[in-house]
Amino acid sequence: MVPHKTPALFKYLFPNLIWNIKDSEKTIFLTFDDGPIPGLTDWVLQTLNEYKIKATFFCVGENIKKHPRQFSRLLEAGHSIGNHTYHHLNGRKVTTNEYMDDVFLCDETLNFQNVSTDLFRPPYGRLKTRQRNALKHKRVVMWDVLSKDYDASLKPKDILQGTIKATQPGSIVVFHDNFKAEGNLKQVLPKYINHFLGLGYQFEQL
């Protein structure tokens, strides 16, 4: 399947989750999941810097601990940081207690880096009702547009076209800061940014 826009039904069923930013005329919110990792995170930072764009990175606690240099670079560049659990857990496959312990462990890892955030994104977008209720102290950020850059069966041109087509003012767009997405991301991200800058859009962090 090509990149797609989140169905309106999801937004209706789960109104307390953040799907997009309303009343954001010609503004797009880029988000990157799963990092930081050596190499690709550095490339993403360089690309965003070239366009003078700020974004939001939903980081995996384990990767923060493994790659503190890349995480420090995110902070130095002034990007927003969100919690993406410590072990990139699928909420539907673990208990609520296990899930929340992992969320808190990621928070502790962030705190060790002098970072505090109320932004949270569930890996895979998967949450049980009890987990969602337990996360009331967080702003749970979903997305309006899923690029599917991680899907190696998709051609970069199809990812680009699908992501552009699905994007609207106020869209929260998901790209991935992981090795599986690297090939597609490097071909799609600069063209995506150029397209919308050419239309007079701006990019902001959450």
Just list the catalytic residues: 33, 176
CB atoms within 10 A of CB 23: 7
In whole angstroms, give the CA distance from residue 48 to residue 45.
Answer: 5
Q: Which residue reads 């496959």 in tokens?
A: 93
Question: 177 near 37, Cβ under 8 Å?
Answer: yes
As a whole number of angstroms, the longest Cα–Cα distance in the chain is 47
In whole angstroms, give the CA distance from residue 75 to residue 141.
Answer: 20
Q: What's the alpha-carbon Rg for the chain, to the nearest Å?
A: 16
**CA 159 to the chain's CA centroid:** 16
In whole angstroms, give the CA distance from residue 123 to residue 58.
Answer: 9
Question: Residue 134 phi/psi, 5° resolution?
Answer: -75, -15
Dihedral, 87, 162, 45, 37 alpha carbons, nearest 10 = 30
Decide: residue 126, CB within 10 A, 0-12 exposed, 13-18 middle, 19+ buried. middle
